[in-house]
Amino acid sequence: MTQLMMSREEALTALQTLGSPSVKSENYRYTSLKGVSWDAPPVASGVQENLPALPELFRNDFFALANQAYAPACQKITAQGLVALSYEGLKSQQPYYYRAQITVPKNTQAQIVDLIVGDPALFNALIVFEVEAGATLSYTQLQNLGPASVAFLRHQVILHQDAKVEWTMAARGAFKYQYRLESECKGTGSDMKILSATRGSESQHFDFWTTTTHQASHTTSSMDHWAVMGDKARAVFNGKISIPHTATHTDAYQKNRNLLLSPQAVIDALPKLEIATDEVKCAHGASIAPVSDEQMYYLQSRGITRAEAESMIVDGFTEPALQKIKDLTLRNLVRETMIGHASQETEVWS
Amino acid sequence: MNNPCFKIENLHVKVEGKEVLKGVTLSMNPGEVHALMGRNGTGKTTLSHALMGHPKYEIVSGKIILNGEDITKLSAEERAKKRLFLAFQYPVAIPGVTVANFLRTAVRAVRGDEVPSKEFRGLVKKELENLKIPESFMTRSLNDGFSGGEKKRLETLQMRLLQPRVAILDETDSGLDIDALKNVSETIEAMRSPDRALLLITHYQRMLNYIKPDFVHVLLDGRIVKSGGAELALQLESQGYDWLYEAQR
């Protein structure tokens, strides 16, 4: 296995050696893969023989290796202005593999909209985003896959000097969804802002596995993750901020707020901080609560039915997070993914 | 003689297994304003929530009659639809639910039909002006980050919009500065009407300078121990509650 390239055969061998993750593995303790099939179609002819190097941090990641083995090609995108990712060839009830390398050139701005819909049996995507010095990226992911889809996404975001990234995600679909986001503030002055919201019902399973690594000094990051789980749905938040000794004057936080709508719904919140230097500002917090009886009573005392009161509280729960999205169109898109309709205030008071 | 529009008959209420109200009886006729006074911890807020139908307040015995109908077993939602209103002492914050969305939903729920947007905005704007509430309130999250005074103004605004037959105002005067107290009190006073009764729960005489009650009641240890006219509030203001405690011994 070379550092620069990894052939499909090498990836397949690595996959076999690694074996599929079990619940004994730390990152799959709360995400069972029982019943998940990741069989890939035979690699079509004319595909790229070798893909770009699999980033080091994904080399022990089963689903990243699977992507290296089965993705037909690597799409190279230079993002400037508005870019919509498109998943060509995605078919209903078939496994789908996607690989891309996206660069936002130095001192430019890009807005990427990533709409993940359809009902493939398996959706496996691995994308490396390189945000060059002084560049600005706004990325918005709206995941609304069909109820039978299983999805594993791997994103790496590398921020060079003074790069600014606003990363927004709303996840509502798929039977099982595991999203791994590796952000690296590599250049001084870089800033990574992550905002994600998810809402699950029935037996859906969402696993957010994020690491923000501050490699350079004077870097900033924030992570706000909001989840609403009903029925027997489960959400895992496995969020880590890593600050090595080189990253002095880092300012970082992660917040995770969760609302449980049923006694059978489960939330596992696992925020972690790894700090190897003193000169940093770093905070984290997590909360898990059911719908408040007092809030319900207050709304009902105004004649509002129990069902409508609950719906108002639940729809409103993620709203403070959504208000952080400055672009109104994007905010409404995210809101629509989360609650099925656009805006409260514009409907009632405009 | 009027028929009472609101009657509380020998109400016993438990909170978390402890009996807090030990037989409260009170009757209000349409057009009347009653004040209920008493020290902290005597059961005033328990009474207000029991009357509104808070599920945590268990009515052990007794009845609540609204316009001739026994509402003791009804939910808060059903009581509200029968035009009973409670202005909360501590209104809860609901992040993400805008004041506008909440008010529109509440008005629709209580009236039983949709209020056209234009009419709703007109209604609300008038009340916002009366209560000196800035319009920017409407797009804020309900009670979230509101000052004590802002919360009380919003409770009063809700009462104005929902036009209850019986309104209970639980310490609506607390948290208000002098000017706000005058403004809110005058707005409440304007609610006095021949087809409505108001029950003001308060610690102090100060609100009663603006809203002259027809009757004043004193709640002590879960029972009404003294009732009288407006002069009783003045007597309490000058003499405190000790003499009533003494009389009970």
Instruction: Express each pLDDT in A203-257 by its tens digit.
Output: 999 999 999 999 999 999 999 999 999 999 999 999 999 999 999 999 999 999 9
Q: Does B91 touch chain A (CB under 8 A)?
A: yes
With a cut of 80, say whether residue B242 has pLDDT above it.
yes
pLDDT digits (tens, 9 = 90+) for B12-30: 999 999 999 999 999 999 9
**Interchain contact A291–B (C-beta under 8 A):** no
Q: Is B154 on the interface with A (CB under 8 A)?
A: no
B92: tokens are 């809860």
Output the pLDDT for position A43: 57
| Beta carbons of A318 and B96 less than 8 Å apart | yes
Of A295, A319, A345, the CB nearest to B92: A295
Which range has the worst mean pLDDT, A14-28, A334-348, B50-64, B95-109?
Answer: A334-348
Query: Are A295 and B80 inside 8 Å of each other by CB?
Result: no
Counting beta carbons within 10 angstroms of the beta carbon of residue A344, is it exposed (0 to 12), middle (13 to 18) or buried (19 or more)? buried
Nearest by Cα to A224 from A214, A239, A205, A207: A239
From A317, which residue of chain B is nearest by alpha-carbon distance?
B96
Q: Does residue B208 surpass a pLDDT of 60?
A: yes
Give me the residue from A298, A306, A316 closest to B92, CB to CB: A298
Is A317 near chain B, with CB under 8 Å?
Answer: yes
Q: In which band, very low, low, confident or very high, does the pLDDT at A343 lie, cut at 50, 70 and 90?
A: low
| Residue whose C-alpha is closest to residue B221's, from B25, B40, B43 | B43
Q: How far apart are CA A326 and CA A319, in angstroms?
A: 13
Q: Which residue from A297, A304, A313 is facing B106, i.e. has the nearest CB?
A: A304
| Per-residue confidence (pLDDT) for residue B2, from 0 to 100 | 67
Task: State whether ipTM is beyond 0.95.
Answer: yes
Structural domain spans, chain A: 5-290
Distance CA A239, CA A195 (A): 12
pLDDT in tens, B28-80: 999 999 999 999 899 999 999 999 999 999 999 999 999 999 999 999 999 99
Task: Say which amino acid occupies A64.
Answer: A
**Where does the pLDDT of residue B95 fall: very low under 50, low under 70, confident under 90, or very high at 90 and above?**
very high
Question: Which pLDDT score is estimated for A19?
Answer: 84
Q: What pTM, to 2 d.p., does this model score? A: 0.86
Q: Which domains does chain B have, with CATH numbers?
A: 6-92+150-248 (3.40.50.300)
The CA distance from A2 to A5, in Å, is: 6
**Mean pLDDT (whole number) for B240-246:** 85
Q: Chain A partners of B123 at a C-beta cutoff of 8 Å?
A: none
Give B-chain residues touching A345 at CB under 8 angstroms.
Answer: 98, 100-101, 138-139
What pLDDT score was predicted for residue A326?
A: 85
Hey, are the CB atoms on B109 and A318 less than 8 Å from each other?
A: no
A344 near B CB under 8 A:
yes
| Sheet architecture: strand order including B69-70 | B18-28, B6-15, B57-66, B69-70
For the stretch A164-188, pLDDT in tens is 999 999 999 999 999 999 999 999 9
Q: Give the nearest partner residue to A297 out of B54, B81, B100, using CB atoms.
A: B54
Over residues A285-324, the pLDDT tens digits come to 999 999 999 999 999 999 999 999 999 999 999 988 888 8
Give the whole-angstrom CA distance, residue A21 versus residue A180.
15
* pLDDT tens digit sequence for B122-148: 999 999 999 999 999 999 999 999 999
Distance (Å, rounded) from C-alpha B27 to C-alpha B247?
Answer: 24
Q: For B141-190, what is each residue's pLDDT tens digit?
A: 999 999 999 999 999 999 999 999 999 999 999 889 999 999 999 999 99
Mean pLDDT, residues A115-130: 96
pLDDT at B104: 95
Q: Are B202 and B176 in contact (CB under 8 A)?
A: no
Tell me the pLDDT band of A348, cut-offs 50, 70 and 90. Answer: low
pLDDT at B67: 96
